[in-house]
Structure 1
Amino acid sequence: MAIGGHISTQSRQINDIGPVATVGRERGARGRRAATTAALLAATVTAALAAGCTGGGAPGDDGRGTARQSEPATSSSAIGSSVLAVKLDNAAPARPHTGVDAADVVYVEQVEGGLSRLMAVYATRLPKEVGPVRSARESDLELLRQFDRPTLAFSGAQKKLLPLIDRAPLRAETPRSASDAFFRGGGKPAPHNLYLRPERIVPETPGPAALTTGFRYGSAPAGGTAATSQTVRYPAARFTFTWSDSRDRWLVGMDGAPATTADGKRMAAATVVVQHVKVRESAFRDFLGNNTPYTETVGSGKAEVLRDGRAWDVNWKRAEATEGTAFTTADGTPVNFAKGQVWVVYTKAS
């Protein structure tokens, strides 16, 4: 199957991002102050407060590596209406993944060493566990600006990147900032065995309104080309999406094998977007000296949208980092996605 000379069996080579040192920080919780009442009721109110009120947020990381205590479920900083984004390992030893099937959107990003990383975004469902969790990258900060102060869960980041994460309009959570939310498990070797319990940091499901991605859902656009599969290649990884009539989904394959979750379910997407973007060098390098590519998700370009066993050549545009991404046909008609999980695979524009 060929779509505009780009889809089907044609491969695309892109750069990737490798491991970095795991260093965590967090943002301190806000305390609470109780209001006093009239003198006549002072004794009664004081007794009630003593019996029924809890303390304020726990202390944060002091910058010297002191881990904070986890925040209570009722902490004001723990409850919000924005999405939870989890940075996921995608090296072979990290598979199968846990909790990815509950994500609303799965982003596939370029990383060093020819490998890939995933970012799973949750708004309508929060799985019991997610993982394996790995480190953040500079590109993640631009990608997440489309959401209103999202929570980013990750294992840490390169030391020089930490100040940028601290200044970003997001809530960063790592094993150091929320030790009770992360755990080692899954029968895999470190560092591929770090998992997150989402309810420990986002106790309330954000809801569909938090998905400010710019994506539209509804009936398929006119036209398109019949498609059975799409493969995107990175130097040391590849993704194949194969249409299943029986499941009405695109079945996900990684490195030539079916991609499944830890409970044996086949990963499947209702819509797949292969988005051609600019990939440039960043100011960061991994511990081997490899440059960390920066994937630019603000701008415009070409993409292929796969849904319902068909594929469309489309245009994409994201004018500002705080905006979502619009996908349109050649005549400017907005492109609707199928209801269900969306995979967005970023690939280097030729």
Structure 2
Amino acid sequence: MWDVRAYRTPDRRRSTARIFGAVLLPCALLLSACSADQPAPTASPRASQAESSYTAPPATETAPLRGTSVPTGSLAHPSLAAKIDNHEAARPQFGLERTDVVFEELVEGGLTRYVAVWHSDIPDVVGPIRSIRPMDPDIIAPLGGIVAYSGGQQQFIDLMTRTSVVNAAFDSDETGLFSRTGEREAPHNVVLQSKALVDRNDTVPAPSQQFAYAATVPESSATVDGTPVTTISSRFSDSRWPDWTWDAASTSYLRNQEGAPDLDAGGVQLRSTNVLALRVEIDDTYLNVPKTTMIGSGEAWVSAGGKTVHALWTKAAQDAPIRLTDDNGVTIRLAAGNTWIELVPVDRGSVTLVP
């Protein structure tokens, strides 16, 4: 007899396989058709347009004498330091409002003069230009660049020319860029075509950074760690007592001399983001010509943002910059902006801070 079960089982399996295959084939064909009809992914027009219109921001660097952010390469020129007159007959001076740094120093007769330094913003004309003094090489040498002055004792000129700084002197002028203006009387009338002088020396390197800087006034060491001070008064002698008053509206200090506003040539009061008062020794080696001792150390006060922090200043060598540290030995950061430095004698001057 035939075994019915053994006979039917193969047919049932083959039948099932045929049905299963029939079901899969249309699905496979359907998937293939769907895949063929699907377009390849492409970037959206909006994204492509955004990518093509993107412009990278310009590269920036820190201005070495201001701490501000400037386009890379925009300050690839030397600094100019000039001896600027501060006699009453020389006021208002030309270009002081555009300086990066100004040093005020004691000279003969209890008067003061400036070593004014321009780099970020160089005017067409600066002055009145006066003669060199024995401390000037120590002040200017760390900057490199150019120094402009109108003569001086030969021993002081020799000290200046022995530095690496490019010397430009009115008394031996070969540039043709010094002249006397009819607006003032001699000797307070020598002026310099400063922009032209810098342009002629454009291969001289830019200065190195002299101080540590914070990006903003609120981030400066004085503002963060200092105490509120409204006025910084420095007395050099009975003839010279400049002071600086905090002006919150302009986030800067306004300058006065001998109790009156100190104005620029446009009639605007001179101002500074940072005010440094450094106590310095006076060397009387040159008899009636006082020499501010710059290589060494001393007490200092650093002001920014309406506050003042006590400090120590040090300068290791002629070519070395001034270093500022707080009472904990931490490097002080100035606020980004311009700086005035009062070099106040220890033995004959004073610094008064008014809350």
Structure 1 residues 186 and 238 mapped into 2: Cα distance closer, same or farther (>3 Å)?
farther
Task: Tell which structure's C-alpha radius of gyration is larger.
Answer: 2
Look up the match of 1:314: 311
Mapping for residues 5-20 of structure 1, pairs under 5 Å: none
Structure 1 residues 136 and 127 mapped into 2: Cα distance closer, same or farther (>3 Å)?
same
Q: What is the CA distance between 1:167 and its match in structure 2? A: 2.1
Query: Would you tell me which structure has more helix in proportion to its own residues?
Result: 2
1:325 paired with 2:304, answer no
CA distance in 2, matches of 1:144, 1:245: 32
Look up the match of 1:263: 266
Quick check: 2:234–2:241 contact (8 Å CA) kept in 1? yes
2:141 alignment partner AA: R
CA distance in 2, matches of 1:331, 1:158: 42
Quick check: 2:274–2:304 contact (8 Å CA) kept in 1? yes
Q: What secondary structure does 2:284 align onto?
A: strand
1:129 paired with 2:132, answer no
Quick check: 2:315–2:322 contact (8 Å CA) kept in 1? yes
- Of the three residues 142, 159, 165, the one matched with 1:164 is 159
Structure 1 residues 139 and 340 mapped into 2: Cα distance closer, same or farther (>3 Å)?
same
CA distance in 1, matches of 2:292, 2:203: 27
Give the TM-score of the pair, scaled to structure 1: 0.71
Identity of aligned residues (%): 29
Quick check: 1:270–1:340 contact (8 Å CA) kept in 2? yes
Look up the match of 2:136: 140
- Of the three residues 239, 256, 262, the one matched with 1:253 is 256
- Runs of 4+ aligned residues of structure 1 deviating over 6 Å after TM superposition are 204-208
Look up the match of 1:103: 99
Q: What is the CA distance between 1:161 and its match in structure 2? A: 2.6
Look up the match of 1:183: 179
Q: What do the CA deviations read for 1:170-201 (whole angstroms, capped 9, x no partner)? A: 21112232452112226211111111111221
Quick check: 2:81–2:117 contact (8 Å CA) kept in 1? yes
Q: What secondary structure does 1:142 align onto?
A: helix
Q: What secondary structure does 2:281 align onto?
A: strand
CA distance in 1, matches of 2:262, 2:93: 9
Look up the match of 1:210: 207
Quick check: 1:180–1:200 contact (8 Å CA) kept in 2? no
Q: What is the CA distance between 1:117 and its match in structure 2? A: 0.2
Give the TM-score of the pair, scaled to structure 2: 0.70
1:144 alignment partner AA: I
1:334 paired with 2:337, answer no
Query: Greater relative contact order: 1 or 2 (C-alpha under 8 angstroms, separation 6 or more)?
Result: 1
Look up the match of 2:17: none
- Of the three residues 229, 233, 236, the one matched with 2:235 is 233
Quick check: 1:242–1:250 contact (8 Å CA) kept in 2? yes
Quick check: 1:83–1:211 contact (8 Å CA) kept in 2? no
Q: What is the CA distance between 1:208 and its match in structure 2? A: 11
